[in-house]
Structure 1
């Protein structure tokens, strides 16, 4: 089967004479780039039979395609792509000096590659990123780089680092012409994953048929036998339990539920078969050796059985094989062990041998390891075989997590090491003789140092399945290694290639944990096939060292989150085996005809002795796809005993968190401890829900940040092929910004996969996977201090009485009206609360004996058992009396209240006689202006961004410390005027009065609630059609009027802040964060804009406070309250020590350029560092190297050169 037989419309190979004419015409070209590049491309198109580029209104296939670069300082610059074809390639051409590829070092092609990738990233988002970047040294070389995800990732050498560079003479080869023609016509046909996917599907289907035919009757009839056994009489139940216990101790649970041994023997046998098929196709076995045995002995299965036993035993130890009459390599590993065991080689029928022959005829060079393991696992598992034809997880999805988690940080390290080496190479170019060679040796040493780091990098997948994540990681590690080796050669490295088992990337660096034995075995197989594929593709089979396969033991078959000393069957008090539904067996309901759980299909419950947290092997990176089991399904899927042991071992994880969060928390803990650089995991998209989000927030609070996140992405369940929605997150240590990818469009692909288009934004990523202003850095303001407080906590139902009970108690003054959150949003309960604040027990008994007796009988019995001495000893008082809250509202006739947890953020006035519950936030302000500001959409945006969410309804939480204390109210410095203040106050009074009027009992609007009113208001703003119930609420609540009042209020408050009516949520939050910072600076200088100065700062009058603020102001250059918030204050940059090593110096300068909002001159860069020695002399060369690598851009600023990142 050929690798390139799927192209559409490909032209026939060019006659060799035409190719030779082209090569002769362009060899030795010396003209400039501008004079030759377009002619070269036109001639190349003619050679390939492609239309030449031409101007079109769409600018989709042309020379000199204009692009615009957007820079971090808000400026833009123009560029032009030498040749561009939308959805196909960016071509960047140079004409380097003669001999630059054969003598010494030249960074011209590096510059061209960096320019080409920069152009690709600068293309308009709606055009997407082309899959190819072509770098051309006219008349000499064409370098090919590819990035098939088209999301702006790293372009890597295609097809690999050893063969991506096409010399001019290579254009005479038909396969090279075909490759270039496909780049012009159908670039996706060159995607290795696409090429090999069909081969893999076909092979897996054949193996599934064979596996099914090999299953024993025991396996096929096991389900019915289990049901029969479950129907035994109760008298025989105890003996049955004892028998099952013995079976469980003898076999694994998976074996017991399906069949005793057959599936495992079949899986091992077929695994040996398929590795043999691969080995002969890549000529690790003599070509056609395995297929030949199958064909020769097709009609003599008994002989074939013995011949395969002999062959595999010979492959295990190496040497002469009697089965082939030829020597074979020493393969080793676990795969071919156990030649003397039953089932090592199975007796097949001729028809079954035919299936093996058909599979052996497939092109095993092209099998895709990234999906092969998943499909093979389905093929070999009777319970999952029905999903074989279902979709599989596309490689591009896996890469979407692997690249930012593992590869990008390593490539960043490589970029610094490469730049350091190139700096030294540039210095060597100015030297001669031994001095030049010594400097080049230093350059090579920098590259080798990184190569050693790369070969020592460890990657762990703690739920590896059949190793698709590990394989994709391996391939990218090998690609990166290839680039490193190429750089060594360009720097004059003359030693032999790095050895296969020497200093090179090997499978030993990849670790996995997998509970399923079959999947764990397949994982090792997949990794070895992938590793050998890559090695042979890049270096040929002659370089393979023996033993070919090693038993590294890097896939551990065990539980990844729970360890235990012993697993015992659980019995009840009557010595009966505890069991549960197996979670997979269904039956047809006799009435409805629907599938329902089969209660007869039971599996035992287990008790885990010595349960504790499972430990993971040390790893630099953690990446994977843990199991998707929701919190509510955990007990059904895993059993009560397991879940109980798991929760006990991990008490810090909320009980409502999903199963996957145990992996997430464990991986995050490795990052926070500094043992792991970065971790990236797949979770369900419920990651953003509150109980899962708490796990994420806990990690972010430990000096980590989300490097990348996708909150909602299509995925394919590995077991059953079902479409699911997932989230991806990558966590790294330290502070930093991350990238948020948002899926904007989804289209079905050719083979059932979903092609997605994503929008990428950069900034601080929050625990809910949102992006925006860094509201977390907002500081509490003194101006807001002591104003907002939580209500009281009675801690005893006996404190709350009905109106009738209050009347029976004589309605004394200590029985106060009481409100909680639901009283505000729904119909008030009309209850009173016994408030004995300030009373001793004796005083209460003396003055209010009936009330005292009520509490004595209804509160004291419970309080006597309370472990807190204060609550136990002062049983007649609230658990939390909230004296600060009481003091804050003591002098007011009314105050503002809002529910702590509420679907809609609504503020309203309450009479000061009403005592607020803990579920209310009492804001001690009685002016309508403050109510208006708090009720505006601007403050609601702030509260939503800082408050979090809680509960099944994922309702917003209003935290007084984060939402209120940090909120900067408008003042004269933001544009607030007396008329605006009055307008806001009037609108707030109208809104408050309107709601109270329509909700009053005398209105007759039975059933109308505040939540109902704001549900309708939300529907109106969304443009959603109202339901019949909502239409009634709209009429009763006059919601149209309320909407108009809120719209007018929002406009007035925005004007009070100087913001336009069109300000977005991001604009509002960014503005408020900056205003908060400015107010905090004011307060540090002595000016506090008290909300209630007579209460908050009674020792000073307002006039004295204003005078103090004026006297204490810093010089104008340090603080200007009228300064535009959009222009942050410029401060002198901090100086950092000049790093000791060259790669660290490269990183430091590149980071300084990237962090600066403006281009930096040489003197400005020098000012950011301090150190001894002649380090400043090397800066120009270092900057020149960063330019060559596309990490810096030189710009002219006022006659002086500056650089931007």
Structure 2
């Protein structure tokens, strides 16, 4: 087989000129024969010029080759920028049903890009150069007569991680020898650039590898331990000095070495290498650095610098596939549309002028991943433009002008790319990534450049990639950004709740003072969205990654809502996907244009199998949802006039909690303690314990006077005094010191006083929820759900049990209210209006409860039926738990998901049916649309002063107690 493919490669070299129309079938026929199909394409069962009808667009296209269910191959002429044809290939593949091919291939006669769209979009799973096919043919093994799973090359990711591991390990060794970190990093980067340069042919005769190999031999292959090698000082210093000397070295050991500089070699601080360091660099230099992926190298290397060698091989980064979810729609697609519209030579002149003045900014650039990919893609677009210009038939009087234009053309430069980051290591790596990008672009497009473009000397990027805070400067003023044509990146993930801890009050004050328009409850990444839109040029594009809270509540209001309200148009987005990075979160990816977007909009949403599905939509709402945009829902006065929904108690210190056994013993001796010693139920116990039993009690002194506590409950008082008082005193003192320092710098500074307040009433729970306790005081039971949940589960809890803050409390005791809350009407509204934690739904009373309308005209018969079905549902659950002592509420609902005839599921469907009837909703019509419509109707009536039906039993029900049953979670002793 290898010999047969070798014959194909030799034929390709000699005869194939790369003309798409004339040679595509010849190329493919020879390729199939080489892979063992002696009767060629037809004999294999494949078909050329396969007709594809697109009913939605009423068009007919022809794919170059289709072989179901193996592959589709689309051919392009030599020199074509294959990324430009990605969408065409994807659209063809989508039309190939049934028996859709597993693999999709793009080929320009020199490269074959292999896609597996079932695994990942945008990025190919492998790129194979035809010249390397004899060696790499296992990547196309699915072309064999008998299907064989392809064996892709040792992935670029693996090679990258191995190379980064070795160089980060070298850096650590330097630091252990007390070499200054900045000097050690600079030396490592000089070595890295040299290794890239020699493997793409910019350093002659593998000079760096030769030097390291000679040094490695002098170590007696590593047997000299940690000794230093004096000659390493002179040899490597000599090479770096040659790379910093203008012209080309004419003599000696470094003959043929060209001038690199670019700022990287201006300062050369050499030192002797140890045997260990030589070995690391030697093994790194043996890697094929053409396979090292700079778009992830910097991040992996950076992880090694910061977290240690144990972490580096498992380092997380933004994958190139995820980067492309921003770079492709924000940079590539707009340029491809411009090229498609160009017709005349003047059109192309304008585009080439525009592309060399095009500016890209990553204001949270890290080690340059996004900038590297963006540069690579822009060079590909430039290459396509130049190919088109050179292939144009021009009149004689235009030929001289064209020749002069191409001679003077300045080419896309790394100086068009800008980045900001606070981490000085990351900034250095970002500069290095772009230097390498320039080198690699020369290697990729040598023929197009036609010796008119040189990657050397490298550009000095000190003013492009800067070490700074992207939000505020030292004076507390907003940091200036360049006005860019594209702003891309992955801003830092930090929730509003953790910002104070991570950044401190002083920094947070500066940020909030600089951006008072941004809601103080918004997550940190929101500032980048808000600012990016301000610094975008008109008709320019931006794409950023964010935690998926960007589409919810406060974060959405100051980011996506702001963008849309100020001339922005979201045209491509990933609603939510798991993040590959170290933070275990789900992210949203949002691409928008400053101006009206003309074209097809795409929203990617995870299906039940966890695969992103592409949806074509007219508009993408700021909730990034396929469902109706519920962000326009109004707060209903009838739901907030009397507060009925609360978060449970936050104890704030473990000293308030007493084990169940201990508490019961204390109550047996002193029954009067029951007033302040209460069972304490947390969400995990409610969901995962049989019959939802609490395992601890809480000491809750609530509104009892301090002096009464000491005299009436001395034992409990001493427990709290011994455990809680010292910690709260210490934290209050620390907070006072921080606040005093802040106020000394800025008398108007915002100071945090919660620890001071906790200490002021140190014997009380952090948040005892007095309003909640007052609301449930006269009830026998109250309704709860988990504040963060995957499933629709509600239950009643006895009022003698205190709820923890992970439970939401609904101050209703009637079965009708329970039935409405347990219904899918409320569940769908909860999911649509809540915030999320990962992919779980977080109940927020402001957005969910305050906008949720109850049925406006329920009949007594309907109310009674809802109450009965709610009771039956709870009874069924309790009977299962009593029968099976290890079964919990969570177990019941997990089992119901796997068994459609599960009794709880059957009762839930009956409940949902009667609730829909009570609302007057149509079962087959979009439920969210109907709830939203009712919300707006109720809000409008309230605005007019008309009477509406609020939450709970209607006022005309006079026998409320007949709808209150006895069942609820109770403490079992």
**Shorter-chain TM-score category?**
0.5 to 0.7
Partner of 2:592 in structure 1?
731
Partner of 1:525 in structure 2?
432
1:45 aligns with 2:27: no
Deviations 1:1143-1173 (A, max 9, x none): xxxxxxxxxxxxxxxxxxxxxxxxxxxxxxx
- Separation (CA, whole Å) in 2 of partners of 1:383 and 1:367: 21
1:346 aligns with 2:346: no
1:388 aligns with 2:370: no
Question: CA offset at residue 513 of structure 1?
Answer: 0.7
Question: Does the CA-based 8 Å contact 2:123-2:324 persist in structure 1?
Answer: no
Cα 1:773–1:1017 shift into 2, 3 Å: farther
1:208 aligns with 2:168: yes
Give 1:510's match in structure 2, choosing from 417, 422, 425.
417
Cα 1:641–1:448 shift into 2, 3 Å: same
- Separation (CA, whole Å) in 1 of partners of 2:872 and 2:197: 83
Partner of 1:560 in structure 2?
469
* Range that drifts further, 491-500 or 358-367: 491-500
Question: Does the CA-based 8 Å contact 2:64-2:73 persist in structure 1?
Answer: yes
SS of equivalent residue, structure 1 residue 486: helix
Deviations 1:604-650 (A, max 9, x none): xxxxxx32322222212111122233334334433443334333333
Give 2:390's match in structure 1, choosing from 485, 489, 497.
489
Cα 1:449–1:652 shift into 2, 3 Å: same
Q: How do 1:17-166 residues align onto structure 2 when only pairs under 5 Å count?
A: 19=11, 44-50=31-37, 69-71=54-56, 81=63, 83-85=65-67, 89-91=71-73, 118-124=91-97, 127=100, 130-133=103-106
Question: CA offset at residue 268 of structure 1?
Answer: 1.0
1:292 aligns with 2:214: no
What is the Cα-based RMSD across aligned positions, in Å?
A: 6.0
Structure 2 gap ranges (5+): 219-227, 645-782, 795-807, 811-815, 876-887, 949-973
Q: How do 1:215-614 residues align onto structure 2 when only pairs under 5 Å count?
A: 215-218=175-178, 262-296=180-214, 299=218, 301-319=229-247, 321=249, 324=253, 326=255, 328-339=257-268, 344-379=269-304, 381=305, 383-393=307-317, 395-411=319-335, 414-421=336-343, 443-492=344-393, 495=402, 502-539=409-446, 543-545=452-454, 547-565=456-474, 610-614=475-479
1:760 aligns with 2:684: no
Cα 1:685–1:620 shift into 2, 3 Å: same
Deviations 1:890-916 (A, max 9, x none): xxxxxxxx99x999999xxxxxxxxxx
- Separation (CA, whole Å) in 2 of partners of 1:1069 and 1:394: 35
Cα 1:23–1:554 shift into 2, 3 Å: same
SS of equivalent residue, structure 1 residue 366: coil
- Separation (CA, whole Å) in 2 of partners of 1:775 and 1:48: 56
Question: CA offset at residue 685 of structure 1?
Answer: 3.8
Question: CA offset at residue 512 of structure 1?
Answer: 0.7
Cα 1:214–1:320 shift into 2, 3 Å: same
Larger radius of gyration: 1
Cα 1:308–1:510 shift into 2, 3 Å: same
SS of equivalent residue, structure 1 residue 535: helix
Partner of 2:604 in structure 1?
741
Structure 1 gap ranges (5+): 1-8, 95-100, 136-140, 219-260, 422-442, 566-609, 747-755, 795-897, 907-918, 922-929, 970-980, 1004-1015, 1027-1033, 1081-1088, 1098-1205
Question: Does the CA-based 8 Å contact 1:630-1:658 persist in structure 2?
Answer: yes
Question: CA offset at residue 511 of structure 1?
Answer: 0.7
* Structure 2 length-normalised TM: 0.62
Question: Does the CA-based 8 Å contact 1:713-1:725 persist in structure 2?
Answer: yes
Partner of 2:571 in structure 1?
707
Question: Does the CA-based 8 Å contact 2:345-2:389 persist in structure 1?
Answer: yes
Partner of 2:558 in structure 1?
695
Cα 1:174–1:954 shift into 2, 3 Å: closer
Q: How do 1:801-1200 residues align onto structure 2 when only pairs under 5 Å count?
A: 940=826, 953-955=842-844, 957=846, 986-988=861-863, 990-991=865-866, 1024=896, 1046-1050=911-915, 1052=917, 1059=922, 1061=923, 1063=924, 1067-1069=926-928
Question: Does the CA-based 8 Å contact 1:144-1:157 persist in structure 2?
Answer: no
Cα 1:216–1:986 shift into 2, 3 Å: closer
1:678 aligns with 2:579: no
Partner of 2:157 in structure 1?
197
- Separation (CA, whole Å) in 2 of partners of 1:501 and 1:304: 43
- Separation (CA, whole Å) in 2 of partners of 1:532 and 1:786: 61
Deviations 1:1004-1063 (A, max 9, x none): xxxxxxxxxxxx99998876599xxxxxxx9xxx99998576344246468x66x4x4x2
1:184 aligns with 2:113: no
Partner of 2:731 in structure 1?
none
Deviations 1:943-985 (A, max 9, x none): 5588666999433546899766xx999xxxxxxxxxxx99x66
- Separation (CA, whole Å) in 2 of partners of 1:366 and 1:150: 24
Cα 1:616–1:51 shift into 2, 3 Å: farther
Partner of 1:221 in structure 2?
none
SS of equivalent residue, structure 1 residue 511: strand
- Separation (CA, whole Å) in 1 of partners of 2:346 and 2:403: 16
- Separation (CA, whole Å) in 2 of partners of 1:1074 and 1:722: 38
SS of equivalent residue, structure 2 residue 290: helix
- Separation (CA, whole Å) in 2 of partners of 1:989 and 1:486: 76
- Separation (CA, whole Å) in 2 of partners of 1:383 and 1:23: 53
Question: CA offset at residue 390 of structure 1?
Answer: 0.9
Question: Does the CA-based 8 Å contact 1:934-1:940 persist in structure 2?
Answer: yes
